[in-house]
Amino acid sequence: MLGALVLIGGVVLGLTSVADAALQRPLLTPASPKLDGLLQLEHPLYANYSVRVTESQFCDGVTRVYTGYIDLEAKHLFFYFFESRRDPASDDVVLWLNGGPGGSSAHGLFMENGPCRMAGPNGTERFEHSWNDFLNTLYLDQPVGTGFSYADHGEYVSSTYEASKDIAAFVAIFFHHFDNLKGRKFHMTGESYAGRMIPVFAAAVHDQNARLVKAGLAPINLDSIVLGNGCTNFMIMTLSYYDIQCEYQQDYGIPPIQTAQECSRIKQLVPRCERRLKTSCIDTYDKTDCLASLSFCADAFKDFWAKDDGYNPHDRTLPCKPYMGMDECYPIIKDISAYLNNPTTQATLGVDLAHSTFVAHNGSVQAMWEANADRVSFRAEDAIGALLDRGVRALVYVGVNDFVCNWARLSSIGTERMTLGVEWAQQEAYRRAPVRDWRVGDVVAGKVRSGGGMTFATVLDAGHLTPHDQPVRVLEVVRKWLLNGDM
Ligand SMILES: *[C@@H]1O[C@H](CO)[C@@H](O)[C@H](O)[C@H]1NC(C)=O
Ligand SMILES: *[C@@H]1O[C@H](CO)[C@@H](O)[C@H](O)[C@H]1NC(C)=O
Ligand SMILES: *[C@@H]1O[C@H](CO)[C@@H](O)[C@H](O)[C@H]1NC(C)=O
């Protein structure tokens, strides 16, 4: 019943015992009995796992970084862990996930909220507005098959619920291994499709606590979830694609994306799409019918995506090519891929050379999830409600120029509609709460509504990748809300 800690390449991490904890050592060294150079760990819930860690300062040149894998049987999940720039010994821990599914969290790390950003294809430079300014930050490539995470014999997962088991195991083992973090406040955050995954993942982590306590281990101190430009409810989002292309386009000060005739045609498809999704995916679930409904809705709105009106669907104020690969609109993604495919980088990070091909977004992972109708087969906001009822706070923020997981500058559609549909004991406090401006200094940075543990905030002048577009504003949202309880 032993999980061996295997060390590869790089620096061998502190072979200290729990008793040595007070001695000088990196703040996040694993505490494990030493056994002939192999660190043996036992975890009552997860018998067969290992942890492979390499230490470096690769990103901003100063921050201590741990990269590597947590091996869960035949699944190998790759992570980057950065100590806080402020006080790693007491600061909270935040997990960040990108979406897709199949999108590597390297997006978040190297172009949104990490300690460094790409400086061309060959290296990185310090980034001043990183979330590790005051948080210990963890980036995870998931589900397995994404980024550097891999499976030995095709043990992939194709749904949020399936993936949530791996995430709960990962989190339990991570906190067990980096024992200095035990009991530390933990926040689960992510973007886009992760806005759908995070509530379910967080519920799994919360539920697991009873088993951890029963086994004599510290529970995970899950404090909050944060969803950035989340596509939490795809039915609401899909229907909003009518509003946003036919009614609220003027919000963005750019010409209408559709003709009057086209809008009148799409308008009739909205209730049909809604009825079909509701009937076959929500009220009852029949995978074949649900997939057919999804395909009907995709056809109904496909002109929107196919149309090259010269603007970026991830940020309607920016010119870009039509909806192709994201790296067409954000060339920095090509730099991320070049950098992570570089053998020198991989050696620094301790990447397993047998599984070293990095793609920023693995389309075949996404295809597996699509084939399973994961995007509409359950209401992720019910997990938000269940977490709120258990004292886990929720923040939903959205960059207003995003069409994909949208809001609009002047109107409540998409994401905010989803929050108003969350059911929990204190939902009236949220629904009745006034919408007010929030500011960075004297400058209005967006709108906020807050009540009953839930906060919804818009961020002006930002698209789908809000921390990329407005890092200072998002850092302020996170600082105010995570650390000080409200905005
Ligand atoms: C542990 O996992 C490895 C990798 O899948 C497998 O080869 C091995 O048989 C497992 N051992 C046990 C005791 O389950
Ligand atoms: C990156 O490195 C390659 C290989 O050393 C070199 O050819 C290229 O000029 C470098 N690019 C930049 C932008 O520095
Ligand atoms: C992408 O995911 C598939 C499983 O869906 C996997 O077989 C493949 O190896 C992954 N590709 C990369 C480059 O990791």
346-369 average pLDDT score: 96
Q: Which domain range does residue 438 map to?
A: 43-487
Distance 107 CA to ligand 2 centre (A): 21
418 located within any domain: yes
Of 108, 124, 114, 123, nearest to 85 by C-alpha is 114
Residue nearest to atom 9 of ligand 2 (CA): 122
- State residue 18's pLDDT score: 30
Average pLDDT over the chain, rounded to an integer: 88
Q: Would you say 466 and 459 are in contact if contact means Cβ atoms under 8 Å apart?
A: yes
Evaluate if residue 17 carries a pLDDT over 60.
no
d(CA 456, CA 264): 32
452 located within any domain: yes
Of 326, 314, 363, 340, nearest to 106 by C-alpha is 340
333-356 average pLDDT score: 96
pLDDT in tens, 275-298: 999 999 999 999 999 999 999 998
The number of residues making up the chain comes to 487
Which ligand has its closest atom nearest to the C-alpha of 156? Answer: 3
Indicate the top mutation candidate among 157, 352, 362 to test ligand 3's pocket, ranked by most ligand atoms within 8 A of CB.
Answer: 362
Active site residue 364: no
Which one from 361, 464, 468, 469 is the annotated catalytic residue? 464
Evaluate if residue 308 carries a pLDDT over 70.
no
d(CA 203, CA 168): 9
Indicate the top mutation candidate among 118, 122, 344 to test ligand 2's pocket, ranked by most ligand atoms within 8 A of CB.
Answer: 122
88-102 average pLDDT score: 97
Atom of ligand 3 nearest to the CA of 359: 13
Residue 209 CA: distances (Å) to CA of 157, 408, 451: 23, 38, 26
Active site residue 192: yes
d(CA 6, CA 39): 7
**What residues are paired with 253 via a beta bridge?**
none
Find tokens 């759908």 and name the residue: 196
121: domain CATH number?
3.40.50.1820
> Which residues line the pocket of ligand 1, CB cutoff 6 A?
48, 73-74
Q: Would you say 15 and 34 are in contact if contact means Cβ atoms under 8 Å apart?
A: yes
128-145 average pLDDT score: 98
454 located within any domain: yes
The torsion angle over the Cα atoms of residues 81, 82, 87 and 92, rounded to 10 degrees, is -50
36 located within any domain: no
CB count within 10 Å of CB 462 equals 27
- State residue 49's pLDDT score: 86
Evaluate if residue 53 carries a pLDDT over 70.
yes
Classify residue 22 as left (phi > 0), alpha (psi -120 to 50) or beta: alpha
Q: Please, where are the H alpha helices in 74-218?
A: 106-108, 160-177, 194-214
34 located within any domain: no
Q: Would you say 467 and 112 are in contact if contact means Cβ atoms under 8 Å apart?
A: yes
Evaluate if residue 143 carries a pLDDT over 70.
yes
273 located within any domain: yes
DSSP category for residue 30: -
Q: Please, where are the H alpha helices in 278-426?
A: 287-306, 326-329, 332-340, 343-349, 363-371, 381-389, 415-420
Q: Would you say 229 and 399 are in contact if contact means Cβ atoms under 8 Å apart?
A: yes
Torsion sign across C-alpha atoms 398, 402, 406, 412: positive
Active site residue 464: yes
Contacts of the segment 244-250: beta carbons below 8 A, 24+ positions apart: 244/403, 244/406, 244/408, 244/413, 244/414, 245/304, 245/403, 247/411, 248/408, 248/409, 248/410, 248/411, 248/413, 249/316
Evaluate if residue 417 carries a pLDDT over 70.
yes
pLDDT in tens, 161-203: 999 999 999 999 999 988 899 999 999 999 999 999 999 999 9
Q: Is the pTM of this model over 0.85?
A: yes
Of 107, 165, 22, nearest to 465 by C-alpha is 107
92 located within any domain: yes
Q: What angle do CA 480, 203, 98 make, to 5 degrees?
A: 60
Structurally, the chain folds into a number of domains equal to: 1
Atom of ligand 3 nearest to the CA of 154: 7
22 located within any domain: no
DSSP category for residue 342: S
